[in-house]
Amino acid sequence: MNIPFLKFDKMHNDVHSQLYQAFDDVIKSHWFVMGKKLSQFEDEYASFSTTKFCIGVANGLDALILSLKALGIHDGDEVIVPSNTYIASWLAVSAVGATPIPVEPNINTYNINPSLIEAKITSRTKAIMPVHLYGQACEMDEIISIAKKHNLFVVEDNAQSQGAMCKNKITGSFGNINATSFYPGKNLGALGDAGGITTNEEQLFEKVKLLRNYGSKEKYYNLEKGMNSRLDELQAALLSVKLPKLIEWNSERNKIAEKYTEQLQNIGDVKLPQLAKNCTSVFHLYVIRTLKRNELQEHLNKLGIGTLIHYPVPPHLQNAFQELNYKKGDFPIAETIAETALSIPIYPGLTDEEIIYITNSIKKFY
């Protein structure tokens, strides 16, 4: 059997003719940037997120950078980030001149451990950036109350968890301003790069609208030194087609995760992902851990099963962050995850037969 790590077939078949229709609409409209398709998608995604506002931008990294800029975070400031996130969260902080301050995750949920945050807060700390990693919502009650107590902003990195809940409230609606990515492989993916920002604060909404479009409201009059980070009409139209299917696709991912969790109990030293109390996951990824990770990956590869490692090198050990002078051993939980994590296939359309083939192949290895 040949099972790639990710397949779009089922999702794209579900909406095939609507995607072509959207393309046709855009080409016939003769309007490709900052038009009706964008504002329509922004309204729809704001409504999905239960926030007052959504601003479409070029990608998830820009969404994070623009969110931090809108809050006025700059040189000399500090932002609390998880030690085990995708590097984009850290890059956004350094892009505005601030310093990422890592906090270790809970080894079972893989999400930032709220009880370790306060020890890292200093007079320079301006914000906490929880990352809902692999699809699971962070423990937002704890994070929001720490932020309130210390007068800090919260910026959610919601790139991997569109639709996840914490105490029945959706991710992307907790922070002052929140970023997401519609990179093709995310749960809601465009057919190219795309990103979005959600907020309930009108002032931040207005600021980001300026910043994503050259700092301009009226063409050729520039109020701020903005960037060009617009979500184009075609990607917005395609996202509008896919958004109504997201809940169904997420629940299909959940069913696959349940089957994995059922089949993979007590196999060798395999650790399965766990959910924090009151938090749900949309299973962007299903990440298991084992000390024999590389050998297991090799074994599955030989049997035709695609897997990936999220992520092989934690941000503090990346060349890109040399200037922070971290060394191996500084964030042992992030390092353990990097050494032991393996993501197995999970996507709408993965069949029961394929799930059993994958879990049997893992059992065979042990």
Give the nearest residue (CB) to ligand PLP.
60
Residue 136 touching ligand PLP (CB under 6 A): no
Give Cβ neighbours of residue 318 (< 8 Å, ≥ 6 apart): 87
Q: Which residues pair with 3 in a beta bridge?
A: 305
User: Is the Cβ of residue 183 or residue 214 nearer to ligand PLP in the bound state?
Assistant: 183
- Contact call for residues 247 and 44 (beta carbons, < 8 A): no
Angstrom distance (rounded) from CA 349 to CA 329: 40
Q: C-alpha distances in angstroms, 171 versus 7, 46, 94, 222, 288?
A: 25, 12, 24, 33, 23
Site for ligand PLP in 141-160 (CB under 6 A): 157, 159-160
Tokens at 191, concatenated: 């057919």
Residue from 195, 314, 315, 345 touching ligand PLP (CB under 6 A): that is: 195
Residue 59 touching ligand PLP (CB under 6 A): yes
Residue 85 touching ligand PLP (CB under 6 A): yes
User: Is the Cβ of residue 111 or residue 125 nearer to ligand PLP in the bound state?
Assistant: 111
Site for ligand PLP in 88-127 (CB under 6 A): 88-89
Residue 236 touching ligand PLP (CB under 6 A): no
Among the residue ranges 86-94, 197-205, 252-260, 299-307, the one whose residues contact ligand PLP (CB under 6 A): 86-94
Among the residue ranges 32-40, 54-62, 135-143, 298-306, the one whose residues contact ligand PLP (CB under 6 A): 54-62
Residue 226 touching ligand PLP (CB under 6 A): no
Residue closest to 366 by CA, chosen among 304, 301, 300: 300
Q: How many CB atoms lie within 10 A of CB 75?
A: 8
- Contact call for residues 365 and 299 (beta carbons, < 8 A): yes
Residue 205 touching ligand PLP (CB under 6 A): no
Give the nearest distance from C-beta 189 to ligand PLP in angstroms: 9
Give the nearest distance from C-beta 302 to ligand PLP in angstroms: 28
User: Is the Cβ of residue 270 or residue 285 nearer to ligand PLP in the bound state?
Assistant: 285
- Contact call for residues 75 and 217 (beta carbons, < 8 A): no
Measured in residues, the chain has a length of 366
Residue where the block lists tokens 């002078």: 325
How many residues sit in the footprint of ligand PLP (CB under 6 A)?
15
Angstrom distance (rounded) from CA 265 to CA 272: 8
Burial (Cβ within 10 Å: 0-12, 13-18, ≥19) of residue 225: exposed
User: Is the Cβ of residue 131 or residue 152 nearer to ligand PLP in the bound state?
Assistant: 131
Q: Can you give the binding site for ligand PLP, defined by CB under 6 A?
A: 59-61, 85-86, 88-89, 131, 157, 159-160, 181, 183, 193, 195
